[in-house]
Amino acid sequence: MLFNDPVFASRMLTLLTLSFHIIYATVGVGIPLFIMIAQWIGIKKNDNHYILMARRWARGYIITVAVGVVTGTIIGLQLSLLWPNFMELAGNIIALPLFMEVFAFFFEAIFLGIYLYTGDRFKDQKKHFLLLIPVALGAGMSAFFITTVNGFMNAPQGFDIVDGTFVNANPVLAMFNLASPTKIAHVLATAYMTSAFILATIAAFKMLRGSKHSYHKKALHMTMKIGLIFAIAAALIGDFSGKYLAEYQPEKLAAAEWHFETEGGAPLLLYGVLDENQEPKYAIKIPYALSILAFGNPSSEVIGLNEFPEEEQPPLEVHYYFDTMVTIGMAMIAISFIYWFGTRMRYAFVESNWFRWLIVLGGPLSMLAIEAGWWLAEFGRQPWILRGIMTVSEAATTSNHVGLMFVLFATLYLILGIGTIVVLRKIFINNPVENELAKIQAKQGGEQS
């Protein structure tokens, strides 16, 4: 069995953990910004709908944060258990961003707790709003620090190697590696984009279920407009990421595009299959697009995958991860732009059920794009765990019990996933928007009298 191979089992368990954690991490980074925006709009417009929006989102957010803490802790544990040789070599360098990520989380969590439990104690809502600034900053800084670790694995620097040991370690220089700027920007933009479309999914679904409350219309309108902004930002940053890969990780770009021979004016391939001779078939070919993506020039030469030793070539299935990410990203730009334009022009179709179903699909599809992007990033670095220095097989544990750990953790993630859904449903079903608004209005009426 493949799970008897410790290297394969370690890779699959890490894949499982990261794929589950990234759901909560994405929401954890993105949702605080929307809580803050909703609170600010509510204060500026003196609109209880937006104030309630912020509080309800914060209430649900804290559940996802709790699960995210569990899975994030598991990742730290698995780094030591599954990849001990990597941690022995690089642990003293990546310890700083890992520690800073924990600090950023506690910074966020403290102010989130204060915000949640003091909502009715602030007469001046602007002061209450100020509590959300460190929450959003802490969430963003968590993403910043943990992404620098991934950047370091792709572009290791900040040390010297003497007799196979890292010496003269400079963790700060290691954090600000060449890969980090585009990675951090892309992680933040896609987290905000995905969170926007998840919240839009909830609002659209409630409207499809018959709700005509203006609360949901306002939530949908706000999140779709912001989602459009960040979807466009993610696409632009993705272009910078392509140029980074062309310059510093050309083998990853070549594998993602099934670009085997070095040539100028290289086309970009979407979809398709490979025949027995590794020739792409049935692919959509966009002339010169790969050269433009790589260097901004349609005649530029793009290095082919055949220039690299076979043992250093990433797996070719990363092509499908790239296609999935790009296709969904473009689709979400289209849907959110059509919504924005349609509402401005007062077209009736934006209120139709079929279009709202497209919006409902947008949240899950955006999360799928996040997953595909991370699979592209991680599989595309193969065979390296630390590019050019240590391979995955050299870093992995030799334990024969990883397969059993996979089963146990898969069970745990299933319980956590189901538990998250059950708890969130109970929180919001037991406290419908109408009831909460009635309580707020009654309280305000009592204060005025």
Residues 34-90: pLDDT tens digits?
A: 999 999 998 898 888 898 888 889 888 988 888 888 888 888 888 888 888 888 888
Per-residue confidence (pLDDT) for residue 436, from 0 to 100: 63
Q: Is the pLDDT of residue 182 over 70?
A: yes
Residues 208-256: pLDDT tens digits?
A: 988 777 888 999 999 999 999 999 999 999 999 999 999 999 999 999 9
Say how many CA atoms lie within 13 Å of 345 toward its Cβ.
Answer: 10
Say how many CA atoms lie within 13 Å of 349 toward its Cβ.
Answer: 11
Question: What pLDDT band is residue 189 in, cutting at 50, 70 and 90?
Answer: very high
Question: Which of these, 63, 43, 37, lies nearest to 122 by C-alpha position?
Answer: 43
Is 356 or 165 the better-scoring residue by pLDDT?
356
CA–CA separation, 207 and 299 (whole Å): 50
Mean pLDDT value of segment 407-433: 87
CA–CA separation, 182 and 63 (whole Å): 30
Largest distance between two CA atoms of the chain: 82
What are the backbone angles phi and psi of residue 94, rounded to the nearest 5°? -85, -5
pTM of this structure: 0.91
> Could you identify the residue written with the tokens 């139709």?
352
Sign of CA dihedral 220, 71, 175, 148: negative
Residues 264-321: pLDDT tens digits?
A: 888 888 998 888 778 888 888 888 898 988 888 888 888 989 989 988 899 999 999 9
Region for 388 from its dihedrals, namely left if φ exceeds 0, alpha if ψ lies in -120 to 50, beta otherwise? left
Question: What pLDDT band is residue 26 in, cutting at 50, 70 and 90?
Answer: very high
> What are the DSSP calls for 410-427, one per residue?
HHHHHHHHHHHHHHHHHH
CA–CA separation, 282 and 273 (whole Å): 7
Per-residue confidence (pLDDT) for residue 449, from 0 to 100: 44
Q: Is the pLDDT of residue 188 over 70?
A: yes
Per-residue confidence (pLDDT) for residue 3, from 0 to 100: 65
Q: Tell me which range, 161-175, 259-273, 422-436, is most confidently predicted by mean pLDDT.
A: 259-273
Question: What pLDDT band is residue 1 in, cutting at 50, 70 and 90?
Answer: low
